[in-house]
Amino acid sequence: MSVIEKARPGRGGETPGRERARRRRRWPVLGLAAAFAVAALAAFWWVQREPPAPEPAPAEQALAEPPLGAAQPALPEVEPAPEPELAAEPIVEPAPDASLPKRGESDGLARDLARQVSSHPLFLATLKEAGLIDRFVVIVDNLAEGFVPRRELAYLKPRGRFLVLGSEPEQRIDPASYPRYAPLAEAVASLDAREAVAAYRRVAPLCEESYRALGYPEGGFERRLRAALALLASTPILDEDPAVVAETKRYEFADPALESLSDSQKQLLRMGPANAKRVQAKLREIQAALAAR
């Protein structure tokens, strides 16, 4: 399995300290008790970065990701969905909890809580590594900005190649590529939204502490979390197979409005409409549970 590089274009104004903090946090997978967001979001990120073989047949071309540092154009034609009112509600910052373990010693608690969220094997596999709280926070931070934390979730990359059919200008994503994302969509759909939010509330002070360790001021992680959920829940899902155009070592969406979406939104589209809608339905359940407190 090839290592998938993280796509993090255009982070204007980031402080050197924050960037160093991010570079120190390059873990292979997330698995937090509040993993409802990450596991729910995780299904979007596993598309191979392998370039297509020399002059492949049209039905066997691999879809690679944009190069690192590639700038994303502004969204000119897609009318953004109205931001859910849930994200605009007042957010109560978590108070210190003396009963919580120290952040560096919290993996046991995080695993116990996460097991109440889902028993799906793919979800449980995300709980094996150490540093669960920190991984959760870093990935949520990436997603809120529209980036794809591929390195952190590389081992969950689906098998097989991402295929396209036909030739330009009628070249489209081959729907035969979509079933390989089905296990990820099933894992997301298995999450209990209420248990997920309850688990997050239990460890919210540790998440806030980890967020500050990235260089952010006190207060704000839950806003970051809601922003990540809202961004992906608002992705326009197509019922048809999108047209793509070949670029150097990669494919792009032929529709400029789709190509101008964030990296994380485009990964969601590449899962196929059935999988993407299933994921979005669970994201909205989690948004509602988060707002209900």
Q: What is the pLDDT of residues 130-156, one digit of tens each?
A: 999 999 999 999 999 999 887 767 767
Confidence label for 19 from pLDDT (cuts 50, 70 and 90)? very low
Dihedral angle of Cα 215, 221, 224, 230, to the nearest 10 degrees = 170
Determine the pLDDT at residue 158. Answer: 80
Of 27, 20, 222, 221, residue with least CA distance to 107: 27
In a domain, 145, yes or no: yes
In a domain, 93, yes or no: yes
Determine the pLDDT at residue 92. Answer: 52
In a domain, 5, yes or no: no
What is the rounded CA–CA span in Å between residue 199 and residue 206?
12
Confidence label for 217 from pLDDT (cuts 50, 70 and 90)? confident
Token pair, residue 217, equals 């001021």
Determine the pLDDT at residue 115. Answer: 94
Of 53, 194, 30, residue with least CA distance to 123: 30
Is it the case that residue 261 has pLDDT exceeding 70?
yes
Give the structural domain span for 20: 16-66+88-292
What is the rounded CA–CA span in Å between residue 114 and residue 126?
10
In a domain, 79, yes or no: no
Average model confidence (pLDDT) across the chain = 75
Domain count, the chain: 1
In a domain, 82, yes or no: no
Is it the case that residue 56 has pLDDT exceeding 70?
no
Span 62-77, pLDDT tens digits: 444 443 333 434 434 4
In a domain, 239, yes or no: yes
DSSP 242: P
Determine the pLDDT at residue 95. Answer: 58
- The phi, psi pair for 112, rounded to 5°, reads -60, -45
Q: Are strands 172-173 and 250-253 parallel, antiparallel or unpaired?
A: unpaired
What is the rounded CA–CA span in Å between residue 250 and residue 63?
6
Query: What mean pLDDT comes out for the span 75-81?
Result: 41
Confidence label for 276 from pLDDT (cuts 50, 70 and 90)? very high
Pick the range with the lowest mean pLDDT from 86-90, 124-128, 176-180: 86-90
Other beta carbons less than 10 A from residue 181's beta carbon:
25
In a domain, 7, yes or no: no
Pick the range with the lowest mean pLDDT from 44-53, 73-82, 189-198, 275-284: 44-53
**What DSSP string runs through 12-78?**
TT--HHHHHHHHH---S----TTTHHHHHHHTT-----PPPPSS--GGG---PPPPTT-------S-
The residue type found at 207 is C
In a domain, 215, yes or no: yes
Determine the pLDDT at residue 69. Answer: 34
Which residue did the predictor score with more confidence, 265 or 155? 265
